Amino acid sequence: MNNHIHLIVWLTVASNLSKFMKQLNLMYFNYYKKIHDYCGHVWQGRYKSNIIETEFYLLQCGKYIELNPVRAGIVRLPEEYVFCSYRHYACGKPDAVISDSPIFLGLADHSLERRKRYVEFVVDSSIIDSNRLASQVFIGSEDFVSKLRKDYGIKEIKSKGGRPKKQKP
């Protein structure tokens, strides 16, 4: 994507995603500024993060990411997009940035069968609801979402950005 990126990141108790994203954005901004003699914002907005419940929903998010350049009309097929993990998972192309997902490794015992199942999953259009995934803070079952909303007092659907409208006196 030309104005944003998608990452699926596994966190540990000691992880600090906010700090990591801040450092990553700053490093890339400085690189881009130097190379292109650029001034201003590089990214469209701040990073957004979602909490994902289980393997099924994690696979759905991965599928959403793999098909995003196709939906945006950048490429015809996911393997044509250079900046995604599809070529690694579906075609077996080595990529130093990608660590194989345990869920991917669990698709089959043999690598060829694993890749075949991955391709079948991504190509199958009957599972994913892209609009719903894009608008949720919590991604999971209704029970999971309800529990997190209650525990943390966070709305399920992301609110529209910007300042609240001024109230008339």
Please check whether residue 114 lies inside any domain of the structure. Answer: yes
Please check whether residue 105 lies inside any domain of the structure. Answer: yes
pLDDT for 110 equals 94
- Domain span including residue 123: 55-129
Digit-coded pLDDT (tens) for 76-115 = 999 999 998 999 999 999 999 888 888 889 999 999 999 9
Please check whether residue 72 lies inside any domain of the structure. Answer: yes
* Cβ proximity of 114 and 105 under 8 Å: yes
Digit-coded pLDDT (tens) for 117-161 = 998 888 876 555 555 656 666 777 778 778 877 887 766 555 555
Please check whether residue 87 lies inside any domain of the structure. Answer: yes
14 or 69: which leads in pLDDT: 69
Digit-coded pLDDT (tens) for 39-50 = 877 776 777 777
